[in-house]
Structure 1
């Protein structure tokens, strides 16, 4: 398994689980598979956890498998398949938990590449995973690019993951060989991920509340003015609680 820089959290995957997941991602399940490292997966799942809407697992799991549709895939035994799925979901839940608890504690996972006699952190794999989700659901993400504040907090990630800024990335990649500059870039990307989560949080909350309201409305039909008041006063709703702001 490639060296990985990560911060230990209470609900983190164990070292053995990370190695198991890394080995799975490296296997050639599909020629179209683009999620081939822990760093790429971590960036991809971070975008899912912090983006504008909740993405159904049926949409994103096939991308991890490298499939074009949601057709179930089996490798080895069904027990092994279920185990790998649980590890991936566990990592998504871990990311979501950290962001919700304190987004400032979030740290990306970066691979460390070795070029003798040196080694340097490869920011590109994490960023490419993050931007993969952004581009897949660009219509949801567009508002963050359309306002100056949003574009500014996206810049550290966008500049490293956009195909149109290859030259910028190449120069920055060279800088990652210098520890102080590398540390600065890592902090910028970490801060950007936290700010993006905070940017979308009100929107995600509003969507969630709307869904809850729809569920309640479906299970509790609208009370008409002439209907019996739900407070069991014996009066019509319009002449009882319908006149007050709060049911009594």
Structure 2
């Protein structure tokens, strides 16, 4: 069976239920802020380096596609992509014509 991303409402409940494990994010708002910082940060980070503490999971969770942890990882990856698409600079019409960077 293919792994599916955890729906955001379920992810919110899942995060709140893990408070005793001390994840960085205990709500979707915190998760979004953390992911936005990862996206906008000056350096790239391995997903293992930021998703594991974000969700308070072991790196081995990436290897098991049929678990709630993996469904949460998948949801975070999709959320990362959504936030990245929002924050990504859009080319201006002049930069498309000249190839110049607008800033």
Tell me which interval the TM-score lies in, with the shorter structure as reference length: 0.5 to 0.7
**Residue pair 2:15, 2:27 contacting (<8 A) in 1 also:** yes
Say which SS state the counterpart of residue 72 (structure 1) adopts.
helix
CA–CA distance in structure 2, aligned partners of residues 25 and 86 of structure 1: 14
Q: Which of the numbers 37, 44, 57 marks the counterpart of 1:54?
A: 44
Higher relative contact order (CA 8 A, sep 6+): 2
Alignment of 1:94 onto 2:82? yes
Moved beyond 4 Å, runs of 4+: none
- Any residues of structure 2 matched to 1:64-103 within 5 Å, and which? 64-66=54-56, 71-73=59-61, 78-102=66-90
TM-score for the superposition, normalised by structure 1 = 0.30
Check whether the contact 2:19–2:26 (CA below 8 A) recurs between aligned residues: no
Bigger Cα Rg: 1
Paired residue secondary structure (1:52): coil
For residue 29 of structure 1, report the CA deviation from its aligned partner: 6.6
User: Please, what TM-score do these two structures have when normalized by structure 2?
Assistant: 0.66
Unaligned 5+ residue runs, structure 2? 1-5, 91-102
Hey, which of these two has a bigger chunk of strand by percent?
Answer: 1
Q: Residue 137 of structure 1 aligns with which residue?
A: none
Are 2:29 and 1:39 aligned?
Answer: yes
Distance (Å, rounded) in 2 between the aligned partners of 1:94 and 1:19: 16
The two structures, once aligned, show a CA RMSD in angstroms of 2.7
Aligned-pair CA distance for 1:30:
4.8
Q: How does 1:1-248 map to 2 (within 5 A)?
A: 17-28=7-18, 30-66=20-56, 71-73=59-61, 78-102=66-90
